[in-house]
Structure 1
Amino acid sequence: MIHWLTTLSVCTVYLYNLLLGNNQLLLTQGVNFYLQQLNALPAIENISSADFFFKDSKLEKFQRFSEVVRDTDKLEGLFTLYRSLEDDQIYLEIQPEQLNKNYLGTVTLESGIGESGIYSGLALQDFLFYFRRVNNSIHFVIRNVNFRATSEKPEQKALNRSFSDSVLYAVPIVSISSHRKAILINLGDLLMQDFAGLTPLLKNSLFADYQLAENKSYFGAVNSFAENIEINSVYNFSANQGANLITLPDSRSLTLKVHYSFSQLPENNGYIPRIADERVGYFITAYQDLSNYNSSESFVRYINRWHLEPSVTDAPLSAPKKPIVFWIENAVPLEYRDAIREGVLMWNKAFEKAGFLNAIQVQQMPDDADWHPADVRYNTIRWFNSIDAFFAKAPTRVNPLTGEILDADIIVDANMVRSLQPEYRTLIEGSSNNQNSCNLTNYNTQLIEDDRCYGIESSLQAAIGATALSMLQNSALDNEKMQEYVHQYLRSLIAHEVGHALGLRHNFHGSTMLSPQELNNIEITHSKGLVSSVMDYLPVNLAPQGIAQGDYFPATIGPYDEWAIMYGYKPSNFESIGAIIPEAEKPFLEQIVGSSQQPELAYATDEDIWDINPNANVWDMSNDVLVYSQWQMDNARLMWQKLDKKYPIKGESYSQLRTVFDKILMYYFRNANLIVDYIGGQTFRRNYALDVNNWAFVPTNLAKQRQALATLNEYIFAEDAFEFSPQLLNQLAPSRWNHWGNPVPISRLDYPIHDRILRVQSTILRSLLDGDRLHRLLDIELKTLPGEALTIPELFDTLQNSIWTEILGKEELISISSIRRSLQREHLDILLEMVLRKTEVPEDGRTLAWYELRQLQKALSAKLKKLGEQLDIYTVAHLEEVSDRITKTLNASLVSR
Structure 2
Amino acid sequence: MTLRPFAVFALSFAALTGTALAQAKPAASPSSSPAAAAAKAPAPGEPVAYDTYVKDAVVQDGLFQLIRKDGKVSMLIKADQFDKDYLQTAVPKNGLGGYGILSGDVFQQEARVVRFVRSGKSVIMLWPHTRFLADPNTPLADAVRLSTADSVLGVAGIVAQRDSDKAVVIDLSPLLGDVMDLTTTFNDVLVSPTNPAGSYHLDPTRSYFGLSKAFPKNVVIEADQAFVSLKPTVVDTVVDPRSVQMRVAYNFAELPDAGAYMPRLVDDRVGYWDDLHISFDHTERMDNRVHYVLRWNMKKSDPSKAVSRAEHPIVYTLASTIPLEFRDPIRRAILAWNKPFEKIGITDAVQVQDQPNDPNFDPDDIRYNMIRWLTESNSGGFAEAQITWDPRDGQIFRSGVMIDSDLVRFGALEYRVLGIDADGSEDPDREERVAAHNHFAHNDGPGAHAQLMYAAVAQAIAQGGDPATIAKRSAQEFLNEIVLHEVGHDFGLGHNFIGHMAYTSAQIRSRDFTARNGIASSVMEYNPANVWPAGMSSGTVEQSVLGPYDYHVIQWGYSAIPGAKSPYDELPTLRRWASNWTDPRYRFASDEDVAWNGHAVDPRVSQWTLTNDPLSWCGTQLGLAQHLIGKLDARFPQTEHPYEEERQAFAVLVGQYGRCATNATHWIGGEYLSRSRRGDPHAEAPLTPVAYGDEKRAFAQLDRYLFANDAWHYDARTLRRLVYTEYAPFSNFGYAPAPRHDLSVADMAARFQQRALGYLYSPLVLARLDDMPSKAAPGSTMTISDLFAWTQSSIYGDIANGKVAQAGEVRRNLQRRYAVMLRTLAVDPPKGTPYDAQALARHELAALDHDAATALGARGLDLLTRAHLEALHEDASRALHAQRVISS
TM-score (norm 1): 0.86
Task: Judge conservation of contact 2:703–2:794 (CA < 8 Å) in 1.
Answer: yes
Partners of 2:364 and 2:459 lie apart in 1 by 38
**Letter of the aligned partner of 1:773 in structure 2?**
V
Using the TM superposition, name which of 565-574 and 175-184 deviates more.
Answer: 175-184
SS across alignment from 1:774 = helix
2:460 is equivalent to residue 486 of structure 1: no
> What's the CA shift for 1:859?
4.6
Partners of 2:200 and 2:839 lie apart in 1 by 52
> What's the CA shift for 1:587?
1.9
Partners of 1:91 and 1:833 lie apart in 2 by 62
Partners of 1:782 and 1:703 lie apart in 2 by 19
Residues 455 and 183 (structure 1), Cα distance of their counterparts in 2 relative to 1, 3 Å cut: same
Residue in structure 2 matching 1:383, options 373, 376, 381: 373
Residue in structure 2 matching 1:160, options 145, 157, 160: 145
Residue in structure 1 matching 2:274, options 284, 302, 307: 284
Residue in structure 2 matching 1:602, options 571, 577, 587: 587
Using the TM superposition, name which of 878-887 and 726-735 deviates more.
Answer: 878-887
Match runs of 1:179-578 below 5 Å: 179-187=164-172, 189-207=173-191, 208-213=199-204, 217-225=208-216, 227-238=217-228, 241=231, 244-267=234-257, 270-389=260-379, 390-418=381-409, 420=410, 441-443=414-416, 445-446=418-419, 451-472=441-462, 474=463, 476=465, 482-574=471-563
2:94 is equivalent to residue 111 of structure 1: yes
**Letter of the aligned partner of 2:591 in structure 1?**
D
Aligned to 2:795: 803
Task: Judge conservation of contact 1:443–1:659 (CA < 8 Å) in 2.
Answer: no
Residues 133 and 814 (structure 1), Cα distance of their counterparts in 2 relative to 1, 3 Å cut: closer
Q: Deviations over 1:702-759 (max 9, x none)?
A: 1111111112212122232222122111222233122445435363434323333333
**Letter of the aligned partner of 1:544 in structure 2?**
P
Q: Deviations over 1:296-330 (max 9, x none)?
A: 22222211110111022133322111111111111
Using the TM superposition, name which of 192-201 and 798-807 deviates more.
Answer: 192-201
% identical aligned pairs? 29
Residues 213 and 238 (structure 1), Cα distance of their counterparts in 2 relative to 1, 3 Å cut: farther
SS across alignment from 2:655 = helix
Partners of 1:628 and 1:500 lie apart in 2 by 28
SS across alignment from 1:544 = coil
Partners of 1:773 and 1:666 lie apart in 2 by 25
Residues 453 and 443 (structure 1), Cα distance of their counterparts in 2 relative to 1, 3 Å cut: closer
Partners of 2:453 and 2:652 lie apart in 1 by 8
Match runs of 1:789-800 below 5 Å: 789-800=781-792
Residues 814 and 483 (structure 1), Cα distance of their counterparts in 2 relative to 1, 3 Å cut: closer
Using the TM superposition, name which of 292-301 and 96-105 deviates more.
Answer: 292-301
**Letter of the aligned partner of 2:387 in structure 1?**
T
Residues 509 and 525 (structure 1), Cα distance of their counterparts in 2 relative to 1, 3 Å cut: same
Partners of 2:160 and 2:249 lie apart in 1 by 26
Match runs of 1:741-780 below 5 Å: 742-743=734-735, 745=737, 747-780=739-772
> What's the CA shift for 1:159?
2.3
Residues 310 and 69 (structure 1), Cα distance of their counterparts in 2 relative to 1, 3 Å cut: same
Match runs of 1:798-877 below 5 Å: 798-809=790-801, 815-839=806-830, 841-860=833-852, 865=857, 868-877=858-867
Aligned to 2:125: 140
SS across alignment from 1:411 = strand
Partners of 1:814 and 1:116 lie apart in 2 by 46
> What's the CA shift for 1:102?
0.6
Aligned to 1:786: 778
Aligned to 1:426: none
Using the TM superposition, name which of 136-145 and 269-278 deviates more.
Answer: 269-278
**Letter of the aligned partner of 2:795 in structure 1?**
I
Task: Judge conservation of contact 2:318–2:372 (CA < 8 Å) in 1.
Answer: yes
**Letter of the aligned partner of 1:260 in structure 2?**
Y
**Letter of the aligned partner of 1:849 in structure 2?**
A
Task: Judge conservation of contact 1:384–1:413 (CA < 8 Å) in 2.
Answer: yes
> What's the CA shift for 1:160?
2.4
2:728 is equivalent to residue 738 of structure 1: yes
Task: Judge conservation of contact 1:153–1:291 (CA < 8 Å) in 2.
Answer: no
Using the TM superposition, name which of 319-328 and 544-553 deviates more.
Answer: 544-553
Using the TM superposition, name which of 451-460 and 232-241 deviates more.
Answer: 232-241
Residues 853 and 319 (structure 1), Cα distance of their counterparts in 2 relative to 1, 3 Å cut: same
**Letter of the aligned partner of 1:231 in structure 2?**
I
> What's the CA shift for 1:553?
1.5
SS across alignment from 1:38 = coil
Q: Deviations over 1:219-244 (max 9, x none)?
A: 3142232x322334433455555553
Task: Judge conservation of contact 1:386–1:415 (CA < 8 Å) in 2.
Answer: yes
Using the TM superposition, name which of 274-283 and 839-848 deviates more.
Answer: 839-848
Residues 74 and 731 (structure 1), Cα distance of their counterparts in 2 relative to 1, 3 Å cut: closer
Number of residue pairs matched by the alignment: 828
SS across alignment from 1:805 = helix
Q: CA RMSD in A?
A: 3.1
Partners of 1:109 and 1:356 lie apart in 2 by 35
Structure 1, unaligned stretches of length 5 or more? 1-36, 423-438
SS across alignment from 1:231 = strand
Q: Deviations over 1:74-116 (max 9, x none)?
A: 43332233444xx344442222111101111222211122133
Task: Judge conservation of contact 2:556–2:578 (CA < 8 Å) in 1.
Answer: yes
Partners of 1:817 and 1:561 lie apart in 2 by 49
> What's the CA shift for 1:444?
6.2
TM-score (norm 2): 0.87
2:630 is equivalent to residue 641 of structure 1: yes
Partners of 1:266 and 1:830 lie apart in 2 by 56
Task: Judge conservation of contact 2:272–2:492 (CA < 8 Å) in 1.
Answer: yes
Q: Deviations over 1:585-625 (max 9, x none)?
A: 12222221122221222221222223132111222222111
Residues 65 and 635 (structure 1), Cα distance of their counterparts in 2 relative to 1, 3 Å cut: same
> What's the CA shift for 1:213?
4.4
Residues 356 and 829 (structure 1), Cα distance of their counterparts in 2 relative to 1, 3 Å cut: same
Partners of 1:214 and 1:814 lie apart in 2 by 67
